[in-house]
Amino acid sequence: MAKELASRLARLQEENELKKQRCDTNLARALALVQRDHLRRSKEDQTNLVAAVSNQAAYLSILRGLFPASDSITMKHETSFSIASSLQVNMKANRVLFGEHLRQVIAAHDQVDDVFREYDVLAMPDGMACSMRTPYTTGGTEYFQHFNKFSQPFSVKQTQQAWWRLASLSGVIENRENYDDIADPNDTVILRVRLVRKLVTGAEISIIQRYICRRVVEENRALLTWKTFSEGEGIFAGMQLEETGWACLQPSMDGDSTVIGVCVRQSPMRFGNLRVQQTENQEFCDFMHNLVKENAQLMTNLISKTLMDDTLADIDI
């Protein structure tokens, strides 16, 4: 009996020892996995940080080349905005700015379904609507939103091709600089343009715009996303506005035409301690809001004309 108990006790001790070893092994393996994952993330963070520092260093190097060293010593905080302004930099610096703007356009493309979720584009009547919106996030800046819905009696393929030919603004704006080498020109348009207009008061104003438009063609729809960064000159100097636009082209419910929904959002941009008169700033924003409406009507008319011209060109008279 004593031998049997001793044998059972020995077996229990062996089993406990094996369990302890397995537990230690599992714990060591888990710790190793955690350490490996931590090391991997640290390396990724380091890579991203090095890339960010490299980009910033390149950008700062460009900016330093634009200003004499003696001037940089006396430069004040209030004038730092002018350094980043595309009005003050050369073509090389603009490429740096456009590279960042292009990343923002690509990110905005991912928001297209959320943007159009509140609109039943296929069922709603053609027309335009404007409103002021407040972001859901705390502290967000109120923005202006313009929505336009219209239809064309042509296929999605024909309509998106016509739109894309117009997206380069060729023949619409003469004072322009092309940056076709930054991205594939088959699906991306990048321009720096100057608009010159007259206000109702008769005063002439000019606005510099950096414009990036990107096209993505899917199986059953075509999507266009763009950003425009506008900088005022003259009486509007120091005023900036950011515009983001989405266009969704899809077949109508009966499949005989193309339904186009366009959503544009504009929000003012503020930098440092720039002091801009409230009335002048509001006048600038009102002008830009009206420009969206004008451009919407102009684009609608141009697309219709382009599609009609294409149709007539195919008719053998």
Q: What is the pLDDT of residues 161-173, one digit of tens each?
A: 999 999 887 766 7
pLDDT of residue 289: 93
Residue 116 binned pLDDT confidence (cut-offs 50, 70, 90): very high
Alpha helices by DSSP H, listed for the chain, are 2-66, 69-74, 80-84, 91-109, 112-116, 156-167, 278-314
- Mean pLDDT for the chain overall: 79
Tokens representing 100?
A: 């960042």
Residue 254: per-residue pLDDT: 86
What pLDDT, on a 0 to 100 scale, did the predictor assign at position 160? 95
Is residue 188 helix, strand or coil?
A: strand
DSSP 125: P
Average pLDDT of span 169-187: 81
Strands, DSSP E only, in 119-239?
Answer: 127-133, 143-152, 176-178, 188-198, 204-217, 222-232
**Could you please report the per-residue DSSP string of 248-260?**
EEEE-TTSSSEEE
- Which comes out higher in pLDDT, residue 49 or 131? 131
Q: List own/partner pairs for 213-218 with CB under 8 A and 24 or more apart.
A: 213/105, 213/167, 213/188, 213/189, 214/102, 214/105, 214/106, 214/109, 214/183, 214/187, 214/188, 214/189, 215/160, 215/164, 215/167, 215/187, 215/188, 216/109, 216/187, 217/160
The yes-or-no verdict on residue 41 having pLDDT over 90 is: no
Q: Check pLDDT > 60 for residue 294.
A: yes
Q: Is pLDDT above 50 for 205?
A: yes
Give pLDDT, residue 208: 93
Is pTM beyond 0.75? Reply is no
176, 193 contact by CB (below 8 A): yes
Select the more confidently predicted residue: 231 or 40.
231
Smallest CA-to-CA distance from 180 within 192, 172, 171 is with 192
- The contacts of residue 174 (CB under 8 Å, 6+ apart) are none
In this prediction, residues 232-239 reach a mean pLDDT of 89
For residue 108, is pLDDT > 90?
yes
pLDDT per residue as tens digits for the range 56-89? 555 555 445 544 444 444 444 444 444 445 444 4
Report the C-alpha gap between 189 and 215 in whole angstroms: 9
**In which residue are the tokens 């004593």 written?**
2
Contacts of 123 (CB under 8 A, 6+ apart): none
For range 252-265, the mean pLDDT:
92
pLDDT of residue 235: 86
Above 50 in pLDDT, residue 107? yes
